[in-house]
Amino acid sequence: MAKAKKPVPQVRRAALYIRVSTEEQAKKGYSLPAQKEDLESYAKKNGYAIVGYYIDEGKSARKKYTSRREFMRMMEDVKADKIDIILFIKLDRWFRNVGDYYKIQEILDEHNVAWKTTQEHYDTETTNGRLYINIRLSVAQDECDRDSDRIKFVFESKVARGEPITGSMPLGLKIENKRIIQDPETAPIVKALFQHYKEHGSAGGAMRYINSQYDLMLYERTVNRILRNPMYKGLYRNNPNYCEAIIQPEEFDSIQQQLENRSIRNNQTGRIYIFSGLLVCDKCGKKYSGHYTAPPGRQEYYLYRCRNAVVYHRCPNHKHYNEENLEQWLLLNICSELTQWQAEWEAAAARAPKPAVDKAAIQRKLNRLKDLYVNDLITMEQYREDFTRYNLMLQQEPDEPTPPDFDSLWEILSGNFQQIYSTLDRGQRRDLWRSIVQEIRLDGENTPRLVFRK
């Protein structure tokens, strides 16, 4: 429901929204300075008080609007009732996606915020005016789709010919005469890194070796990315001969298997960490790593810690979590946690806006419309008009959320779950928890918060 109409101020507060994508930087009339000058002139001419500039540079209108930082900052100011009107030069600066347009328009209506384009005229007060906006947005969206297809075709052609599609190359490779070749200065570093990992099986060890031998500052995440990059065996986008290989394909594939074996923590000692890959630090968002301790004459203890805190000192969460304690907590609380999650999801779904029209009925109308045209019962003009109207109705209506597969989760937990669990070995327990839980987030007090698989 829209808020009560705010009293119209003597001077309306205007937000100037400016957006330009990378490929539009050089186009006349689309540059940032040109847009800014045009909007300032319009605001001054119409007596608006400029309260903010919101400039998204290098952002496409087809990208999700949440990725536009300045746009999101502007929407926060709209919700805080700091803005009365938003100015931008053309509709395609705003959106090229009908669905996103309606989501934002709902927020603007709720806060009684208007918008105007300085180089185009739109009427949002009448049905025909809104239909015209819908058609323009649909056309713009179609143009973007066609451009995307053309760009994709060009890129695929370049990849097939072994030509680079970006100027940025991974360590060890460089561009020369439009071909990707080994960089004689850095390719030996890549070879040494792969060789060290092949012999020792440790990304951290390979990182420390390279940093000490070649006076570099690589991080473990970078090392893992290098070890998994198929360009080092010459493969890119299904072209196995895209570039000159630094690592022979057979050796590269062998190292991928080595990495895969390490990723599930099944190391040379045969130890399996049940919650490997599931525990996430709520402080920094990084995954916990497993380790063990074996006091003399006592049983082994499996522990988890935030590697970002313990190794790199970039996180304040230095607590360890005992695997056995986490197992017991899960066995006692998994059913209540799932019950709570299901209740929260169903409550949120009940609050979600329901479709005002039957989408299936609209689809049937579209099918009948096609039959009418094929049988010469309506003209092409009538067909296009009704086709556009029905499609816009489909696009405007929110989709009902798809519920998670609660039945499958409850089926796993039904019966004597704890007794069955006690009969499983460590590998089976690890696979079981991965089938139920997507991640387990731990805060600074090591309080678990479950994210179930959908």
More reliable by pLDDT, 160 or 183: 183
Percent of the chain at pLDDT above 70? 78
CB atoms within 10 A of CB 86: 23
Per residue in 418-449, pLDDT tens?
A: 888 888 888 888 888 888 888 898 877 778 88
Residue 443's SS3 state is: coil
Per residue in 275-324, pLDDT tens?
A: 888 898 888 888 888 887 877 767 778 889 888 888 778 888 888 888 99
Residue 450's SS3 state is: strand
Query: DSSP letter string over 250-273?
Result: HHHHHHHHHHHHHHTT--TT----
- Which alpha helices (DSSP H) does 7-126 contain, by range? 32-45, 69-79, 91-94, 98-110
Judged against a pLDDT cut of 50, whether residue 28 lies above it is answered with: no
Q: How far apart are CA 72 and CA 395, in angstroms?
A: 23
Torsion sign, CA atoms 46, 52, 56, 57: positive
Q: Using an 8 Å Cβ cutoff, are 395 and 131 in contact?
A: no
Per residue in 197-209, pLDDT tens?
A: 988 888 888 888 8
Per residue in 402-426, pLDDT tens?
A: 778 888 788 888 777 788 888 888 8
Find, among 158, 194, 187, the residue nearest to 173 by Cα: 187
Judged against a pLDDT cut of 80, whether residue 397 lies above it is answered with: no
Domains present along the chain, CATH in parentheses: 13-143 (3.40.50.1390), 173-263 (3.90.1750.20), 271-352+401-454 (no CATH)
Per residue in 370-386, pLDDT tens?
A: 766 666 667 777 777 77
Phi, psi at 331, each rounded to 5°: -60, -35
CB atoms within 10 A of CB 40: 17
Phi, psi at 64, each rounded to 5°: -55, 135
Residue 132 pLDDT class (50, 70, 90 cuts)? confident
Report the pLDDT averaged over residues 38-46. 92
Most distant CA pair in the chain: distance in Å?
A: 90
- Which alpha helices (DSSP H) does 161-314 contain, by range? 187-200, 203-213, 220-228, 249-263, 307-310
Tell me which amino acid residue 349 is: A
The continuous run of DSSP H or E covering 167 comes out as none
More reliable by pLDDT, 185 or 363: 185
Report the pLDDT averaged over residues 257-265. 69
Residue 358 pLDDT class (50, 70, 90 cuts)? low
Q: How far apart are CA 9 and CA 115, in angstroms?
A: 16
Please state the pTM of the whole predicted model: 0.37
Residues with a catalytic annotation lie at 21
Q: How far apart are CA 274 and CA 325, in angstroms?
A: 12
Q: Using an 8 Å Cβ cutoff, are 19 and 93 in contact?
A: yes
pLDDT number for residue 126 = 59
CB atoms within 10 A of CB 311: 13
CB atoms within 10 A of CB 79: 13
Residue 49 pLDDT class (50, 70, 90 cuts)? very high
pLDDT number for residue 133 = 74
Judged against a pLDDT cut of 80, whether residue 86 lies above it is answered with: yes
Q: How far apart are CA 216 and CA 326, in angstroms?
A: 39
